[in-house]
Amino acid sequence: MNKSDRIIGYISLVALIALFAGIAYGMYEAHQHVTYKAYVDFDELGSLQPEDPVVIRGYTVGTIGKVTWLGDRARVEVKFDEPRPIREGTIFKNVNYAIMGQRRLEIIPNKNGKVLPDDHIHQGTFEPGIAEALRYIEDLNGLLANVRDVVILLTEGDSTHQSAPEIYENVLGTVEGLLENANKTVDKLNPAVRKLISQMNEAGNSVSEVVTQVDTTVKATTDAVNEKIKQAEDAIAAIAEGTRKAEKIIAEIENSDTMDKLVNSREFVDQVTDLIKKTSLVLAAIDTKGIKVYDENGKQVKLFTWKNANLIGKTAREKARIRAEKGESLPNSEPEPVSEPATEPATETVSEQAEAE
């Protein structure tokens, strides 16, 4: 083998190695470029750590990436082996799947929700496993130990605390002493209490008597007041009846035709006016210097005449009345004229004439 063949072999080997390296790098870059990531927050992380598996229905679809502690929660980066859309409603569960406490992330996808963006932060749930159960048992053992110490302290006590039986005995002794003192005090107070009860009974009897007297007085007063109220009601009823009658009379007067004529008729006014006019004429016919009366022609009218005047003895009318009482009569005789004082219209008084008119 000459030198040129050796150089060609080296060059071919280097070229082949470079080719394989390029193919591997390309595959790596392609894998890194298409890897889909998701971020899930957990309130409790447990033993979940990077490179733990991520499964869907038992099949591994990725691994746990970087884990970041945020103070009150842990944020886990999920790396999928292939692009995988995550829809709204997908469940992320941190579960224990091995007896030694190993954990993995189980995803329960939702097919009906909308696709969430790559930077969306999902909320995961933590399910306790064997390690957590052992830890809870250890915590429970610590609590039971504390309870045991408290029970021992209550039953036996120590150098600084009395036991519960001793405390009970002390309290019981104190209560018995209080009861004994209370009995002595009651014995001392019994006479005073009896006297007070007796006074209260006497006061109650006195109050009962006073109440009875007050009840009697109130009853008598109530009867008197009721009687006065009845009288007042009767008086009010009588007044109301009188008012109704007065209103009825007023209504009848208002509805009467006579009153309507007196108030609204012109005839009544004309009669009053004519009466006033005639009265004025009679007054004008009287001579004020002497009691003389003149007629409408201006002639003096005599106030009294002696014609047919019978000053002495019975008048003809009286005699005729006596004969009629006795049953006497003169046949074929004319009746005796009755003498009456001559009366003329002028002899009437002014008031009578006015009334006649």
Cα distance between the two ends of the chain:
194
- Cβ partners under 8 Å of residue 113, min gap 6: 87, 88, 89, 90
Range of weakest confidence among 93-97, 317-321, 333-337, 338-342:
338-342
Residues paired with residue 125 on neighbouring β-strands, in sequence order: 93
Three-state SS at 65: strand
Beta strands 59-69 and 74-80: pairing type? antiparallel
pLDDT band for position 338 (50/70/90)? Answer: very low
Q: Which pLDDT value is given to residue 31? A: 56
> Using CA of residue 274, residue 276, residue 279, residue 284, what is the dihedral sign?
negative
Q: Which pLDDT value is given to residue 61? A: 92
pLDDT band for position 67 (50/70/90)? Answer: very high
Dihedral of CA atoms 307, 311, 316, 320 in degrees, nearest 10, equals 160
Whether the pLDDT of residue 357 is over 70: the answer is no
Three-state SS at 339: coil
35 versus 49: which is more confidently predicted?
Answer: 49
| % of the chain with per-residue pLDDT over 70 | 73
Q: Which pLDDT value is given to residue 314? A: 66
Q: Which pLDDT value is given to residue 62? A: 92
Whether the pLDDT of residue 100 is over 80: the answer is yes
- DSSP single-letter state for residue 257: H
| Residues 10-35: tens digit of each pLDDT | 888 899 899 999 898 877 765 554 45
CA distances 96 to 73, 80, 106, Å, are 19, 20, 10
- Cβ partners under 8 Å of residue 165, min gap 6: 155
pLDDT band for position 125 (50/70/90)? Answer: very high
| Residue matched to tokens 């201006």 | 298
| Residues 219-272: tens digit of each pLDDT | 777 787 778 788 878 878 877 887 888 778 777 776 766 666 666 666 666 777
Whether the pLDDT of residue 340 is over 50: the answer is no
**Helix axis angle, 130-156 to 164-255, nearest 10°:** 100
| Residues 176-193: tens digit of each pLDDT | 888 888 778 877 777 877
Separation CA 85–CA 154 (nearest Å): 63
Q: Cβ(95)–Cβ(107) under 8 Å?
A: no
Separation CA 151–CA 156 (nearest Å): 8
CA distances 198 to 207, 210, 232, 269, Å, are 14, 18, 50, 97
Separation CA 18–CA 20 (nearest Å): 5
Q: Considering all CA atoms of the chain, what is the largest pairwise distance in Å, rounded to the nearest integer?
A: 228
Whether the pLDDT of residue 4 is over 70: the answer is yes
| Residues 283-299: tens digit of each pLDDT | 666 655 555 556 666 66
Mean pLDDT of 59-77: 92
289 versus 152: which is more confidently predicted?
Answer: 152
CA distances 165 to 96, 161, 169, 177, 352, Å, are 49, 12, 6, 18, 137
Average pLDDT, the chain: 76
Separation CA 112–CA 90 (nearest Å): 10
